[in-house]
């Protein structure tokens, strides 16, 4: 895979479309949670760093920000374990928790992360993603704030990488293999 020759497509999703998505997601989150109670935002590294930075500046409630980095062992076992490469130790008992992710693909990682946070005693655990690839889902996971829905293509930019490249792009492009 790392030896693969590829090009990037024309712009698939523009900076303006992304900005509008951020605004709409933030407005929905602000409407749902109000301005009083603390919201614990769990940002999933590395891909969600840019979306998290934009989203948080549009939220109106008190925010506690934590970062995680995790992977799931793929396969059919949806109750399988999650590998927390980076975890946090803030006590989320009785708190509203919002997971912020770059993209939901199969949904494997997120369904396990969601369960882990519920098991830690959160009052609620919701999911906000910048991009959603529902065609690839292997479970019934659905984001509460699901951003921009895309077809089954591998995308880069706005935090998303291909082999750790192109996270810096302001817009979204598709990785096209050169055969």
Contacts with ligand IMP by CB under 6 A lie at 47, 72, 101-110, 154-155, 160-161
Q: Does 47 bind Mg ion (CB under 5 A)?
A: yes
Size of the site for Mg ion (CB under 5 A): 1
Give the residue nearest to Mg ion (CB). Answer: 47
Assess 159 for contact with Mg ion (CB under 5 A).
no
3 state SS for 39-55: EEEEEECCCCHHHHHHH
Query: Which pair of structure tokens corresponds to residue 167?
Result: 């996270």
Looking at beta carbons only, is 98 or 110 nearer to ligand IMP? 110
Instruction: In angstroms, give the least distance from the CB of 33 to Mg ion.
Output: 24
**Could you say which DSSP state residue 170 is in?**
S
Residue nearer to Mg ion on the CB measure, 5 or 85? 85
Among Mg ion, ligand IMP, none, what does residue 159 contact (CB within 5–8 Å per kind)?
none
The rounded distance, in Å, linking the Cα atoms of 104 and 133 is 6
Helices (H) and strands (E) in the chain, counts: 3, 9
Is 140 marked active-site? no
Active-site annotation holder among 105, 119, 144, 152? 105
The CB-of-102 to ligand IMP minimum distance in angstroms stands at 5
Residue whose CB is less far from ligand IMP, 122 or 160: 160
Q: Give the shortest CB-91-to-ligand IMP separation in angstroms.
A: 26
Burial of 134 (0-12, 13-18, 19+ CB in 10 A): middle
The residues, ordered by sequence, that sit 6+ positions from 99 with a Cβ below 8 Å of its Cβ are 42, 44, 110, 113, 114, 117, 125, 126, 127, 128
The nearer residue to Mg ion, 47 or 147, going by C-beta atoms, is 47
Nearest of 49, 70, 64, 68 to residue 130 by alpha carbon: 49
How far is residue 127's CA from residue 139's CA, in Å, rounded to a whole number? 15
Residues that bind Mg ion (CB under 5 A): 47
Q: Which residues are tagged catalytic?
A: 105
């Amino acid at each position: 895979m790392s030896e693969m020759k590829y090009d990037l497509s024309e712009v698939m999703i523009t900076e303006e479309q992304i900005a509008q998505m951020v605004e709409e997601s933030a407005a929905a989150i602000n409407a749902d949670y109000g301005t009083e109670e603390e919201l614990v935002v769990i940002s999933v590294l590395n891909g969600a760093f840019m979306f998290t930075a934009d989203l948080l500046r549009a939220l109106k409630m008190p925010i506690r920000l934590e970062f995680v980095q995790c992977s799931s062992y793929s396969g059919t076992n949806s109750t399988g374990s999650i590998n927390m490469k980076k975890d946090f130790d803030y006590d989320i008992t009785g708190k509203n928790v919002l997971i912020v992710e770059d993209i939901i693909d199969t949904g494997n990682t997120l369904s396990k992360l969601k369960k882990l946070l519920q098991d830690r005693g959160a009052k609620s655990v919701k999911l906000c993603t910048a991009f959603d690839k529902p065609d690839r889902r292997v479970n019934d996971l659905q984001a509460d704030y699901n951003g921009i829905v895309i077809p089954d293509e591998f995308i880069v930019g706005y935090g998303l990488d291909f082999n750790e490249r192109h996270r810096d792009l302001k817009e979204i492009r598709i990785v096209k293999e050169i055969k």
